[in-house]
Structure 1
Amino acid sequence: MSLKDLIAGWAQPGRVDWIGLRPDRRVEMVAVDEAMISANGLEGDRGRAGKRAVTLIQQEHLAAIGSYLGRGPVSPDILRRNLVISGINLAALKGREVQVGEAILRFTVICAPCSRMEEALGKGGYSAVRGHGGWCAEVVRPGRVRLGDAVQPVD
């Protein structure tokens, strides 16, 4: 197989495990069972249009971040990402169109941790999230996303 073929491959669809909305800065996130993803991001979220409209993180990384802090998995609302996805390597989807529920997203840039991670997670929180903070995505096609929906590249 060529490197291009290897990069295009994936083992199984991922799954939406958690959906969260950030109604405003510094207010608690609201966990929901479903949300509409419009051109500007999730409806009810204070996100922004463009390449950072939707934020995603891997469920598997919540445990990694917690382990770097000497505890169990961190709660997704602390990291303030919109979608928690399990079962597929999100980093392998960079630049690709990905179906998430009824919507199609394009993963654009990593979600770097912000300085609030020290406040939210304690000493070393910022460093614990580095490389595990998830991805930002732009909306290619709006649509509804629900807990349990499949996440997979559009081939």
Structure 2
Amino acid sequence: MAQNIIWEGEVVALCIAPAADEPMQLIDEAQLVEGRGIVGDRYYTKNGTHSVPDEEAYEITLIESEAFESVETENKLSVSYADMRRNIVTRGFSLNHLVNREFRIGDTVLRGIALREPCAHLMEQTSHKVVVGFIHRGGLGAQIISGGNIRLGDTIHE
């Protein structure tokens, strides 16, 4: 008999930026709003590099902390969580399989929209080595289905 495997992880960092070219700021708690994003972030105000008015687009981005560890080990690079310009950094939870699937962080519900490969904007902000290091592990863009507050240490699960 097959068992259902439930992935479970945690939030290890939260980051926002008020506009596309502004530096990311680490925060301890975030308010997620359906159809908008994180209060105070560039996607909430539609000022993000990848904001697309009137189209189904992601409102929040996530990335695995394990990707940072791999890039640091393999490429001898030191990359901060804020450098990758993702909103939520996770640990112990695989994001790549969540495209078109719902998952929870604390009491919020998100739906994975698309994998987020490193882009030219990221290269402008960091370096070519960083972009190459994060290919196929650049994170996930998601929509907020049911909003609420999330905090460092909150549980992530399907």
TM-score normalised by the chain length of structure 1: 0.85
RMSD across aligned positions (CA): 2.0
3-state SS of paired residue (1:45): coil
* Residues 65/119 of structure 1: CA separation in 2 closer, same or farther (3 Å cut): farther
- What is the count of residue pairs matched by the alignment? 147
Match 2:39 to one of 43, 58, 61: 43
CA change 1:67–1:116 in 2 (3 A) is farther
**Does the aligned pair in 2 maintain the 1:111–1:133 contact within 8 Å?**
yes
Equivalent residues of 1:56, 1:85 under 8 A apart: yes
Per-residue Cα deviation, 1:100-146 (whole angstroms, up to 9, x for no partner): 12210001101121113434443422211111110000111111110
Stretches of structure 2 lacking an aligned partner (at least 5 in a row): none
Distance in 1, Cα, partners of 2:106 & 2:136: 26
Match 1:133 to one of 135, 138, 142 = 138
Are residues 120 and 69 of structure 1, via their aligned partners in 2, closer, same or farther at CA, if it must alter by over 3 Å?
farther
Fraction of identical pairs, as percent:
28
**What is the CA distance between 1:67 and its match in structure 2?**
3.0
Q: Which residue does 1:26 correspond to in 2?
A: 21
Residue 117 and residue 68 in structure 1: after superposition, are their counterparts in 2 closer, same or farther (change >3 A)?
farther
2:76 corresponding residue in structure 1: 70
TM-score, normalised by the number of residues in structure 2: 0.83
* Structure 1 consecutive aligned stretches of length 4 or more whose deviation exceeds 4 Å: none
